[in-house]
Amino acid sequence: MSDDIKKGLAGVIVDETAISKVNPETNSLLYRGYPVQQLAAQCTFEEVAYLLWHGELPTDDQLAEFEDHERANRHLDRVVKDAIDALPLTAHPMDVVRTAISVLGALDETLSSDRTWIDRDFTLQRSMRMLAKLPAIVAYAQRRRRRDGNPVEPRDDLGYSANFLHMVFGEVPEKVVVDAFDTSMTLYAEHSFNASTFTARVITSTLSDVYSAVTGAIGALKGPLHGGANEAVMHVLAEIGSADRAEAWLDQALAEKRKIMGFGHRVYKNGDSRVPTMRASLETLVAHYDRADMIELYEALEQAMDARKGIKPNLDYPSGPAYHLMGFDTEVFTPLFVAARITGWTAHVMEQLSANALIRPLSVYNGPDERRVPGA
């Protein structure tokens, strides 16, 4: 293979961004300059969303306005519900979410009437619309699969995370659970030029619209090498079953050349900056639900992986069991990632639009030499 080829674009710098900084040397992650751990501890997900979109944390008045706007946009249009209802119950929730976002785009009259969709204000407004409606979409997807009866209406007296859990489970859990969920949303919100965000930027670079960018990003996130890993982690933990089986299971899996879900990262090679914070939330949930067996299994696989391969967990490793303990179906873990990452994706869409260049790399042709079509 030619030395010019950077397979998987590994190590290639393709643009600048002011949205987040991933620093593998210091295992740190900054959103607009703020350490993500501090944001998770001090701010709500709504404040983090505002920060990612506007570049600064909101004042009290700005936050109040933002929250009002988010709460006013939570309801799901009948057409979106009908579109979801037309899908088989076997459809994966990621496919449901991708379809729902696509339908929201098709319902947006501006897209059919003029080209103002490449405008920042248009994009910001639609980003808020998607952010506010995603909890209803995810809740609808899980409740429908469970045949849990009617959708639960949003409550505008609740913040984003409490309302999200209320819509999925029909009740607001204890504060420790809401806080752990809110932390996961903040940690998942943004991570520079990861595969799904890059997908969104590629789509935007053609001057397509924000719904198309998000629909494509959802498709990229679904794969188990990216966001789909949080779902896959739970399948792995279920397959292992208990801590005492972790080492033997891992040896067998590695002998079969399986990739161990929730471990490894393209950028971090010494551990993911977000894992300690999410792990602390997982431990809180383990104590709350009295599930010491879960953290024992978690640690057993983590230690075995470190001993065998020296590969550390990524964010999907603690978030998978955390979502499980909260009561989510395994198949909606990646849709939860979508609900958080809508903030980062759309911030990148706006940044791409502000200094756009069509993204179109080159390739080295390695097919047959020129030849003649029979009869030509």
Ligand X SMILES: O=C([O-])CC(=O)C(=O)O
Ligand Y SMILES: CC(=O)SCCNC(=O)CCNC(=O)[C@H](O)C(C)(C)COP(=O)(O)OP(=O)(O)OC[C@H]1O[C@@H](n2cnc3c(N)ncnc32)[C@H](O)[C@@H]1OP(=O)(O)O
Output 18 or 89, the one with its CB closest to ligand X: 18
**CA-only gyration radius of the chain, Å:** 21
The answer to whether residues 257 and 136 touch, using CB atoms and an 8 Å cutoff, is no
The answer to whether residues 101 and 130 touch, using CB atoms and an 8 Å cutoff, is yes
Of 92, 191, 265, 324, the active-site residue reads 265
> Tokens in use for 211?
């719904």
If one asks whether residue 346 binds ligand X (CB under 6 A), the answer comes out as: no
Instruction: Name which of ligand X, ligand Y, none residue 249 binds, using a CB cut-off of 5 to 8 Å depending on partner kind.
Output: none
Of 179, 182, 209, 316, the active-site residue reads 316
Q: Is 265 a catalytic residue?
A: yes
Q: Is 316 a catalytic residue?
A: yes
Token look-up 């990739």 returns 259
Span from 123-131, 159-167, 306-314, 347-355 in contact with ligand Y (CB under 6 A): 306-314
CA gap 277, 315 in Å, rounded: 9
- CA-nearest of 306, 293, 220 to 262 is 306
Instruction: Name which of ligand Y, ligand X, none residue 225 binds, using a CB cut-off of 5 to 8 Å depending on partner kind.
Output: ligand Y
Residue 203's φ and ψ, nearest 5 degrees, are -65, -45
> Which member of 124, 311, 356, 359 binds ligand Y (CB under 6 A)?
311
**DSSP 8-state class, residue 266:** S
Site string for ligand X, 311-330 (x = CB under 6 A): ---xx---------------
User: In the complex, what is the shortest distance from the CB of residue 202 to ligand Y, in angstroms, rounded to a whole number?
Assistant: 17
Give the β-pairing of 28-31 and 20-23. Answer: antiparallel
If one asks whether residue 267 binds ligand X (CB under 6 A), the answer comes out as: yes
If one asks whether residue 194 binds ligand X (CB under 6 A), the answer comes out as: yes
Which residues fall within 8 angstroms of residue 108, CB to CB, at 6 or more apart? 126, 211
Question: How far apart, in Å, are the Cα atoms of 341 and each of 52, 130, 162, 253, 345?
Answer: 11, 11, 18, 31, 6
Q: At what angle do helices 175-188 and 316-326 cross, to 10 degrees?
A: 150
Output 240 or 340, the one with its CB closest to ligand X: 340
> 51-90: which residues touch ligand Y (CB under 6 A)?
none
- The CA dihedral of 131, 132, 137, 139, to the nearest 10 degrees, is 110
> 233-292: which residues touch ligand Y (CB under 6 A)?
259-266
> Which member of 74, 133, 166, 191 binds ligand X (CB under 6 A)?
191
> Which member of 162, 229, 275, 286 binds ligand Y (CB under 6 A)?
229
Instruction: Name which of ligand Y, ligand X, none residue 141 binds, using a CB cut-off of 5 to 8 Å depending on partner kind.
Output: none
Instruction: Name which of ligand X, ligand Y, none residue 259 binds, using a CB cut-off of 5 to 8 Å depending on partner kind.
Output: ligand Y
- Measure the N-to-C terminal CA separation of the chain; round to a whole number of Å: 33
Output 71 or 191, the one with its CB closest to ligand X: 191
Span from 62-70, 199-207, 314-322, 360-368 in contact with ligand Y (CB under 6 A): 314-322
Instruction: Name which of ligand Y, ligand X, none residue 261 binds, using a CB cut-off of 5 to 8 Å depending on partner kind.
Output: ligand Y
CA gap 280, 261 in Å, rounded: 20
The number of beta carbons lying within 10 Å of the beta carbon of residue 89 is 10
Known catalytic residues are 265, 316
Q: Which chain residues interact with ligand Y by CB under 6 A?
A: 8, 224-227, 229, 259-266, 309, 311, 314-316
Q: Which chain residues interact with ligand X by CB under 6 A?
A: 191, 194, 265-267, 314-315
